[in-house]
Amino acid sequence: MRRLITIVSRISGLGCMRAVVAVAMGLSMSSSLYAADLTVSESSFGCIRDWTKVRNTYIKHADPDKLKEAVRIFKNSVPDKEYPVGTFLQLLPDEAMVKHPRQTFPETNGWEFFHLDLSAQGTKIRTRGDQTVNFQGVKCFSCHQPAVKYDFVCEKGHGCAPVPLDDQKIAELQAADPRCKKN
């Protein structure tokens, strides 16, 4: 009888363990689905100055902890570290890059580039994708490619060709964002 109770107990324990593993796998899969389910629309963009600014660049993320991580990576120029999925970066109000799961845009490590039309009424997406062309008429990714060590995020010292605008002109363009309320 003891032997039977021991066997039933072990089988019951294995069943419980399988249930725990199944739940853990389900949670893992659902969090992966959430990351893959990133939707970016015109309403995702607003006044550039409402985002977190680090040097000349504005950063946004819906999750405060992931925003903090994205800011840390950018601020410290952390090499060999990927930005959290859902990170938005903007230097100029009419251009942006958004981090998706790597498999969404494999060549750009998940980054999607945006060229935007701006007005006081809001944002219209002119073009988007991994082949988007910037204000200079070249593919965004061709400029970002040298910054592979920094998850393709350009900044001074990351190997990218410099933007042909000085800091003052960049600040003027940011201040002139028509989506921002006038003070």
* Lowest model confidence (mean pLDDT) among 23-27, 103-107, 121-125, 170-174: 23-27
How do the domains of the chain map onto residue ranges?
Answer: 1-37, 42-175
pLDDT band of 27, cuts 50, 70, 90: very low
Question: Across-strand partners of 119?
Answer: 122
pTM: 0.79
Of the candidate ranges 37-41, 63-67, 99-103, the one whose mean pLDDT is the lowest: 37-41
| Sheet with 122-129, edge to edge strand ranges | 52-54, 57-60, 88-90, 95-99, 111-119, 122-129
Q: What is the mean pLDDT of residues 100-117?
A: 96
Nearest Cα residue to 86 out of 66, 114, 105:
66
Residue 23's pLDDT is 36
